[in-house]
Amino acid sequence: MRPIIMLTLPDFEQKQIIFALISDGDKLSFKNDNIIITDSDGSIKHQSTCYRLFALLIVGHICITSGLLQRAEKFGFSIVFMTHSLRVYGFWGIKEKGNVLLRKKQYDYKRLEIAQWIVANKIGSQLSMLKSIRQKTKVIEDAVENIKTYSICLPDEKLNLQDLLGIEGIVSRIYFNAVFGDYGWTARRPRVKHDRTNCLLDIGYTLLFNIIEALLNIYGFDLYQGVYHRQFYQRKSLVCDLVEPFRPIIDFRIRKAYNLGQINEEDFDIVQRQYFLYGKKSKPYIGWLLEELLSYKKDIFLYIRSYYRAFMKEVSINQYNQFKL
């Protein structure tokens, strides 16, 4: 098996993640080692060097040249294609395709230690987020104490997958009610978007998902082979696993946006009782969500790299790295 050339932390810290909102007639092309986005009149809207690009997230429909796709492979950056509602419909990116040993280890792994480690790390992040709130209400204080009682349950060799799912579900209900209870919160319903908060959570989690996916591809993971989220048709279960500890980054920023008055009800369109952000109205929201995520860029990179190394070496679970919010 050929050796894997890994992206180093200093290299990654210099890389850019670009989010492009595309208008009708825009074109994406390549010239002199640069990514160029032009409008229908040929005027340049954006230009970035390929040497510093890690991922290009494109929202909307755009003409793209085959030369650009070749350059994406050459320079090692990913292109993610998304609809205006931020549903991913295409991915073109660098992938390590020859890591047979890694995939064999993935397929052979049947235990629950890593799943418990992921859930414990997520609960730890949720607790850190709640503790960081300066003016704590009685609801928040009670949530912290309640969640602590569940956090000490992990790890536990006696727990099965259903037990673990139950613990995560109970903690999440307590947590979300504490975080967003002052903003009309009813429940977390992924992809239903029945209110503004769920709409924004979906947007933020989608951005996070795409970053984690791009990093996992570098090492050659089978994204569909999870350790906590089990196999389900066309679900990238491993990505779903490893986004979990980082979700509170998004939650915290949305709560902060409410407090700063950055969320305007008039920006949201309601279609069949679902909330959506379209076009230019979505730009500031995507901007501050992506900015918050990128402030943790180093932490996310180190987390995925350490996960790969620990998994390959089959070290004990207490040697796996923990993300600390």
* 83 and 150 fall within a common domain: no
* 44 and 136 fall within a common domain: no
Q: What is the pLDDT of residue 6?
A: 61
Does 87 score more than 80 pLDDT? no
* 169 and 46 fall within a common domain: no
Domain boundary among the residues 58, 92, 126 is at 92
CB contact at 8 A, 79 and 93 = yes
- The span from the CA of 145 to the CA of 149, in Å, is 7
pLDDT band for 249, please (50, 70, 90 cuts).
very high
* 185 and 234 fall within a common domain: yes
Q: Which of 34-43, 159-168, 180-189 has the lowest mean pLDDT?
A: 34-43
Tell me whether residue 325 is in a domain. no
Length of the chain: 325
Domain with 15 in it: 9-92
Domain boundary among the residues 92, 126, 150 is at 92
- The span from the CA of 201 to the CA of 199, in Å, is 6
Question: Which is more confident, 172 or 58?
Answer: 172
* 104 and 189 fall within a common domain: yes
Domain boundary among the residues 59, 92, 125 is at 92
* Contacts with 113 (C-beta within 8 Å, 6 or more apart), sequence order: 155, 317
Tell me whether residue 218 is in a domain. yes
Domain count for the chain: 2
Does 284 score more than 70 pLDDT? yes
What CATH code is carried by the domain that includes residue 56?
3.100.10.20
Mean pLDDT of the chain: 89
Does 268 score more than 80 pLDDT? yes
Helix, strand counts (H, E) of the chain: 11, 10
Instruction: Give the chain's end-to-end CA distance (angstroms, integer).
Output: 37
* 86 and 215 fall within a common domain: no
Tell me whether residue 109 is in a domain. yes
| pLDDT tens column, 130-164 | 999 998 999 999 999 999 999 998 989 899 999 99
* 128 and 236 fall within a common domain: yes
What CATH code is carried by the domain that includes residue 130?
1.20.120.920
